[in-house]
């Protein structure tokens, strides 16, 4: 028998086989209809649709603060404010607020927001070193209600063509020798009525600076046409040799005759020699934040602990600006080789306009050792 003969239909003289084959083909054709009928459900039997994604609880009055198409009036700080409200049924906990520019200092009215409670996020922008023209800044607010969430806010502003520029914006120096280390700072003002630098000071005894020049000169800046005339005050200074070991926060502060820029500060981070193993002091927290507000209920004090070798003796404490006061108690044991000192920093009055940072210094062991803590001022 050939292969073709083997797969031929059954012969017509076998009626029982023919009828069974016909019935099988009919059943196969009805299977889709039967399946559809088995799984058909009337609309009234369907479960109602539910929304599983909850809505954010924290709502802002605006998500973009636009200062207008015209250039803003130049001052040391440009402020934007974002009011918000908790529209949910559970408390909101606000965490970090990340920014697209280090010139922004976000300030929250509170971290915990009860249901129905209102608050605000104030965003000061330091205008020194901003380039002329249109700028866009973003902030990401991280918070938790029933789950972790993020909200993005935007600030738009146009800065005038003539600005105040400080170069460099900050100094990072390493001084581990006995030879003085020189540095330069240029404060340039391109406005029609430029400021005058009247004096300059440093918060550290081992950093000195003075005004060298204050005349019109041809200044080349990234954000200006080459050869644009402007007033430049050149500050020259040096970090003395043989400074105390460790990392030190320092501010160089230039006082001016301009009411909008009364003090221009340039932060410095100076790395001295390393401490011997196991003798480096530790501050907790490493930085402080104080509310610079004259509201009667404002808390202007903060505390940090200094863990240091038991052999250390604190000689005295100092702070800049003069509105900062420092007090500390007798040290108490912390471990077999260390003791801890509780330090309270208080803001007795509001610092000058434009001053956003301060420094606390603890001098130990007759000046051989030094601990510095940076203080950030929040202006609600």
Contact of 310 with 337, CB cutoff 8 Å: yes
pLDDT of residue 214: 52
Give Cα 366 distance to the centre of its chain.
Answer: 37
Q: Residues 284, 254: one domain? A: no
Contact of 21 with 10, CB cutoff 8 Å: yes
In three-state secondary structure terms, 35 is: helix
Q: Residues 269, 295: one domain? A: no
* Count of the separate structural domains present in the chain: 3
Phi, psi of 240 (to 5 degrees): -65, 160
- Which of 274, 307, 337 terminates a domain? The answer is 274
How would you class 24 by CB atoms within 10 Å of its CB: exposed for 0-12, middle for 13-18, buried for 19 or more?
exposed
- For residue 203, CA distances in Å to 9, 130, 207 come to 106, 25, 8
CATH number at residue 357: 2.60.40.10
pLDDT of residue 53: 61
pLDDT of residue 93: 96
Tokens 């927290």, located at residue: 285
Tokens 């949910």, located at residue: 88
Does residue 366 lie within any of the structural domains? yes
pLDDT of residue 33: 46
pLDDT of residue 340: 97
Q: Residues 268, 171: one domain? A: yes
Structural domain including 96 reads: 58-159
- For residue 238, CA distances in Å to 71, 186, 188, 303 come to 38, 15, 20, 32
**Tokens at 73, concatenated:** 């009036």
Q: Residues 128, 220: one domain? A: no
Does residue 105 lie within any of the structural domains? yes
Give every residue of the chain whose pLDDT is below 70, as ranges. 1-53, 213-230, 380
pLDDT of residue 11: 43
Adjacency order of strands within the sheet including 229-239 = 164-167, 181-189, 229-239, 207-218
């Amino acid at each position: 028998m050939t292969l073709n003969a083997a797969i031929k239909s059954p012969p017509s003289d076998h009626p029982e086989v023919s009828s069974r084959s016909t019935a099988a083909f009919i059943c196969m054709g009805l299977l889709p209809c039967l399946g559809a009928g088995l799984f058909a459900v009337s609309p009234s039997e369907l479960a109602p649709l539910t929304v599983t994604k909850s809505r954010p609880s924290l709502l802002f009055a605006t998500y973009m603060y636009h200062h207008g198409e015209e250039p803003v009036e130049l001052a040391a700080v440009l402020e934007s404010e974002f009011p918000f409200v908790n529209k949910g049924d559970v408390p909101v906990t606000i965490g970090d607020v990340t920014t697209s520019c280090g010139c922004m200092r976000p300030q929250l009215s509170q971290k915990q927001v009860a249901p129905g409670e209102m608050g605000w996020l104030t965003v000061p922008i330091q205008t020194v070193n901003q380039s002329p023209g249109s700028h866009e800044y973003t902030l990401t607010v991280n918070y938790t209600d029933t789950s972790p969430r993020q909200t993005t806010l935007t600030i738009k502003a146009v800065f005038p063509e003539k600005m105040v520029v400080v170069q460099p914006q900050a100094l990072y120096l390493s001084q581990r020798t006995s030879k003085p280390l020189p540095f330069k700072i240029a404060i340039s003002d391109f406005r029609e009525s430029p400021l005058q630098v009247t004096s300059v000071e440093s918060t550290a005894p081992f950093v000195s600076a003075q005004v060298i020049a204050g005349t019109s000169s041809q200044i080349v800046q990234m954000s200006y046409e080459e050869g644009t005339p402007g007033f430049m005050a050149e500050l020259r200074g040096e970090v003395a040799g043989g400074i105390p070991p460790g990392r030190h926060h320092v501010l160089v502060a230039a006082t001016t005759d301009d009411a909008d820029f009364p003090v221009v500060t340039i932060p410095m981070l100076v790395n001295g020699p390393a401490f011997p193993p196991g003798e480096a002091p530790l501050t907790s927290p490493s930085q402080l934040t104080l509310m610079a507000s004259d509201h009667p209920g404002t808390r202007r004090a903060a505390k940090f602990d200094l863990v240091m070798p038991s052999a250390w003796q604190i000689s005295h404490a100092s702070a800049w600006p003069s509105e900062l006061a420092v007090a500390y108690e007798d040290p108490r044991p912390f471990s077999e080789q260390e003791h801890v000192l509780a330090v309270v920093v208080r803001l007795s009055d509001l610092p000058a306009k434009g001053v956003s940072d301060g420094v606390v210094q603890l001098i130990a062991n007759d000046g051989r050792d030094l601990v510095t803590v940076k203080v950030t001022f929040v202006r609600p």
